[in-house]
Chain A
Amino acid sequence: MRVALCLIVLFGTAACSRTVNRYALIEDSLMAGNTQRADQIVEQAEPDYGAESHVLYLMDRGMTLHLTGRYQASTDMLDQAEQEIERLYTRHLRTEAKAFLINDSKLTYEGDPYEQTMINVIKGLNYAVQGNWNEAVVEARRIDHRLNVLGDRVNPKDGYRDDAFARYLSGLFFEIAGDLNNAFIAYRKAYEAYQQARPWARTPVPPSIRTDLLRMSQALHLDQEHEQYRREFGELVWQPYSDTHDLAQVIVVTYNGRAPRKEDRLIDLPVSLDALKLVLLTKLPPRAQSQERRALESVLYGLNGHVVRVAIPVLVPQKTDVLYAEVTAADGAHSVQARTQLVQNFTAVAEKTLADRLPGISVKAVARAAVKYGLADGVRHGARAAGGKDKEARLIGFIVGSLAHALAIASEEADKRSWRTLPDEIQIARLWLPPGSYELRTHSVDHNGRRIGHDSGYAVTLHGGETKLMTERVIP
C-alpha cells in the first residue's frame, strides 16, 4: 500500500513536469509584428504556467501588454508580480522539500534579481511612454531601493549586484521630471556600474552617459566633479543644460532579439559496471534531446537500477542580428539623425546570474539525485522483501523497483524558467529637437550594414521642454 502510494506520487510528478513550449509561438507573433497575438498566447496559457510560475506569467503578460501599448494593464500585471515576489520572501518548508525531492521547477518562481529590477524598469517605461514622468520617477526611486538592498545582500565580488541600465533610465526619468540632483546621482551610479560590470556585461559605457554627467554637473554647479569628468572624458562634444532646456526631446528605446533560454544538461552517473556500459551505449550518436529519447533512457536506466541522473540548467543564447537602429526626425526642411546605443545585454546578465548560482544549484541537484536513488532503491528492496522468496513475488519486486528508478530518472529536470518575453538587448537613442512637427523614422541595421526588421514611422508634434519616449520591438 505504502509502495503504491509512493509510486502514485512519483507518477503524478512525472506528469506535472510536462512543459509547454509557448515561447516559439510568442516569438513568431512578435517577428510578424503581431503583438496582440503574442499577448493572447500568454493570456491563454495562464493555466499552463501553474501556481508555481504565476509570477512568471505576470512578468510575461506585463511585457506583452507593454508591447501592445496597453500600458495601464501592463503596470497592473507587474504591480501584482512585485507584490507576489514580496510575499514570496517567506519560504515554505513543504514547498522547499517538495522541490528537493522532485526538481527545482516545483519551487515558486520569484525571478532572478535582474528580472525583478526589470519589473520596475518596464513599469517606469509604461509611465514614461504616457508622459507621466512623476509616476515614472516613483519607479526610479523603487529601482534605487531595490538595487541598494541587492547591493547589501550580494557579495561584492559576485556579478549582478547593481544594474547600470536601470540606473541610467532612472537618471533620464529624474532629469525629465526636473529633479537634476537625483538625475546626476543616478547617472553617476550608472557610469560606475557600467565600469564595474565591464568584465562580464559585454556592454561598453554608453557615450551619452558621459555627456549627461557633464551636462548635469554643470547645471548643478558641481565644479569639482565637472572638471574631473572633463579631464576624464577628454574632448567630447556636449550641450550645456541651458541650451537643451527649451528644446524638445525624443527618446527611442529599442528591444532587440530574444532573451536567452535555458536547457537541461543531463549528467548520468553509473554506480555499477553494467550501468556504465548502459550509459555509454545511450550516449552513442545520434544525441538528439527529444522527449522520446529521454523516456527511453528513463526506462532503460530504471530497468538497470544503478544510474543516478543529475540535471543542471544551461543557457542558450539567442543573439540578435541588430547592431543599432538609425533614428531620423525630419520636419520637411531639416532632418536630425541619431544612432541607438547598447544599454543592456540581457544574455550577458543572465549568463553571469546563472554562473553565480550554478555551484548552489549543482550541490542541490547532486543531493537530490542521491536521495531519489536511495528512495527508489529502498522501494525495490522493500517490494522484493515484501513479496517473499517465490518467483512471482521477485518479479513484482523487480517491476516495482524498476518503475521507481525510472520515475526518479524521469522526474529529474533543471529549473528552466526565465522571463523570456524580454529582449536580448536594449538600445537607446536621444534626440534634442527644436519645437515643431516631425516625421520620426527608425530602421534597424545588422552587423553587415543591412537593414533588418520593419521600418517604422510616426508623426510627432513637440513643444519646448517636452519629452516623448517611444519603444520599438525588433525580433531577429
Chain B
Amino acid sequence: MTGTQAMADTSRLRHGVFHSVSMLTAMFAVMVMPIGGCSKSTRVTRVDTNLVTDLSGRWNDTDSQEVAKTMVKEALSFPWLDTYTRANGRPPVVVVGTILNRSHEHINTQTFVTDLQRELTNSQKVSFVAGKGEREEIRDERREQAVHAREETQKSAGKEVGADYIMKGNISTILDEADGIKAVFYQVDLELVDLESNVKTWYGQKKIKKVVERKRMLF
C-alpha cells in the first residue's frame, strides 16, 4: 500500500466515522431533547350549549338531553294521553321516580331525571308533581310555615296533588373492546306505570352506540 493510498483510506475512515457520529448524535438529540415551543397552556372557549361535545365517548350532557327530549316526546305521542285526558277531563299528573344506573359508568342520574322533568313540564300536555326527595323538602317548609308564618300566608297540609303515573327506568351499557377500538352501547329503558292499577301504560327504549378509536402509535 502506498503512502497516498494510506492517506486516502485514513481520510475515508475519518469521513465515515464523522458521518456515523454525526448521524447518531443527530438522532439522539432529536429523539431525546425536549422540543421547545411545545409547552401546553390552558385555553377556555365558550361554546353553544347545544354543541355536541364527544370527548371521551362517555355518557355526557348531550346524551342526557337528547334521550330525555326524544323519549318524553315519544311517551306523549302515544294514545294513553288522549284517552286519559278525555276520560278525566284533565291532563294526567306524572311524577318521575328512580332511574337506576346499571351501566359501566358513574352516571349522575339526577341530571337525567332533571332533563326528563323539564321536558315533561314544558310539554304542557301533562301536569307534573315534585318527586320523592323534593316533596320532603316542601313538606318541611310547610311545617316551618305553620309555626313561623302569618296565618293568612300559611299553606295548609293535605292539599297535594297525587300523581296518576310514575315514570321510572334504567340506563344500562354493553361494552366491547379490542385493539384500541371500543364500542359502547347505551340503552335507556323508561316506563310509565299507572299508580292505581300498576298497569304499564307506556314502555320506551332509546339506544345510543358510540365507537371510540385510539391510535396505537404517534410521532
Interface residues of chain A, those whose CB is within 8 Å of chain B, are: 2-3, 5-6, 9, 13, 83, 86, 89-94, 97-98, 101-102, 134-135, 138, 141-142, 145, 149, 152-153, 374-375, 378-379, 381-382, 385-386
Does residue B105 face the partner (Cβ distance < 8 Å to A)? yes
Contact with A along B165-181 (1 / 0, CB 8 A): 00000000101011010
Tell whether, in the assembled complex, residue A149 and residue B104 are in contact, meaning their CB atoms are under 8 Å apart.
Answer: no
CA distance A2 to B26 in the complex (A): 8
Chain A binding site: helix, strand, loop or mixed by DSSP?
helix
Tell whether, in the assembled complex, residue B218 and residue A90 are in contact, meaning their CB atoms are under 8 Å apart.
Answer: yes
A-B contact pairs, 28 of them (CB 8 A): A5-B29, A6-B28, A9-B28, A86-B214, A90-B214, A91-B216, A92-B218, A93-B218, A93-B219, A97-B31, A98-B31, A98-B32, A101-B28, A138-B101, A138-B105, A138-B106, A141-B103, A145-B175, A149-B177, A149-B178, A374-B24, A375-B28, A378-B21, A379-B21, A385-B14, A385-B17, A385-B18, A386-B18
Tell whether, in the assembled complex, residue B217 and residue A90 are in contact, meaning their CB atoms are under 8 Å apart.
Answer: yes
Partner of B215, one of A6, A90, A375: A90
CB closest chain-B residue, reference A135 = B106
Tell whether, in the assembled complex, residue B29 and residue A9 are in contact, meaning their CB atoms are under 8 Å apart.
Answer: yes
Q: A3-B25, A145-B177 are in contact. Are A102 and B32 (CB under 8 A)?
A: yes
Contact with A along B71-99 (1 / 0, CB 8 A): 00000000000000000000000000000
Tell whether, in the assembled complex, residue B31 and residue A101 are in contact, meaning their CB atoms are under 8 Å apart.
Answer: yes
Does residue B20 face the partner (Cβ distance < 8 Å to A)? yes
| Chain B residues, CB < 8 A from A101 | 28, 31-32
CB closest chain-B residue, reference A1 = B25
CA distance A83 to B55 in the complex (A): 12
CB closest chain-B residue, reference A372 = B28
Tell whether, in the assembled complex, residue A138 and residue B104 are in contact, meaning their CB atoms are under 8 Å apart.
Answer: yes
Q: A3-B25, A379-B21 are in contact. Are A89 and B106 (CB under 8 A)?
A: no
Shortest CB distance A291–B (Å)? 23
CB closest chain-A residue, reference B173 = A141
| Chain B residues, CB < 8 A from A149 | 177-178
| Chain B residues, CB < 8 A from A5 | 25, 29
Task: Across the A-B interface, give the 10 residue pairs with the lowest CB-CB distance, nearest first.
Answer: A382-B21, A97-B31, A6-B25, A378-B21, A385-B14, A2-B25, A141-B104, A381-B17, A89-B214, A145-B175
Tell whether, in the assembled complex, residue A375 and residue B14 are in contact, meaning their CB atoms are under 8 Å apart.
Answer: no
CB closest chain-B residue, reference A95 = B31
Shortest CB distance B23–A (Å)? 9
- Interface size class for chain B? 20 to 34
Interface centre among B14, B20, B21, B178 (most CB of A within 10 A): B21
CB closest chain-A residue, reference B20 = A378
| Chain A residues, CB < 8 A from B32 | 9, 13, 97-98, 101-102
| Chain B residues, CB < 8 A from A153 | 178
Tell whether, in the assembled complex, residue B216 and residue A145 are in contact, meaning their CB atoms are under 8 Å apart.
Answer: no
Q: A3-B21, A141-B104 are in contact. Are A83 and B216 (CB under 8 A)?
A: no
| Chain A residues, CB < 8 A from B173 | 141
Does residue B33 face the partner (Cβ distance < 8 Å to A)? yes
CB closest chain-A residue, reference B214 = A89
Does residue B50 face the partner (Cβ distance < 8 Å to A)? no
CB closest chain-B residue, reference A5 = B29
Q: A9-B29, A149-B178 are in contact. Are A134 and B101 (CB under 8 A)?
A: yes
CB closest chain-B residue, reference A134 = B101
Tell whether, in the assembled complex, residue B216 and residue A89 are in contact, meaning their CB atoms are under 8 Å apart.
Answer: yes
Shortest CB distance A119–B (Å)? 14
Tell whether, in the assembled complex, residue B104 and residue A375 are in contact, meaning their CB atoms are under 8 Å apart.
Answer: no
Tell whether, in the assembled complex, residue B103 and residue A381 are in contact, meaning their CB atoms are under 8 Å apart.
Answer: no
Does residue B22 face the partner (Cβ distance < 8 Å to A)? yes
CB closest chain-B residue, reference A140 = B104
Q: A9-B29, A83-B56, A98-B32 are in contact. Are A381 and B21 (CB under 8 A)?
A: yes
| Chain A residues, CB < 8 A from B33 | 9
A2-B26, A145-B175 are known contacts; what are 8 more A-B pairs with Cβ within 8 Å?
Answer: A2-B21, A90-B215, A138-B103, A138-B104, A141-B104, A141-B173, A145-B104, A153-B178
| Chain A residues, CB < 8 A from B104 | 138, 141-142, 145
CA distance A91 to B216 in the complex (A): 6
| Chain A residues, CB < 8 A from B24 | 6, 374-375, 378
Shortest CB distance B105–A (Å)? 7
Partner of A378, one of B17, B101, B177: B17
| Chain A residues, CB < 8 A from B219 | 92-94
Shortest CB distance B145–A (Å)? 33
| Chain B residues, CB < 8 A from A138 | 101, 103-106
CA distance A91 to B215 in the complex (A): 8
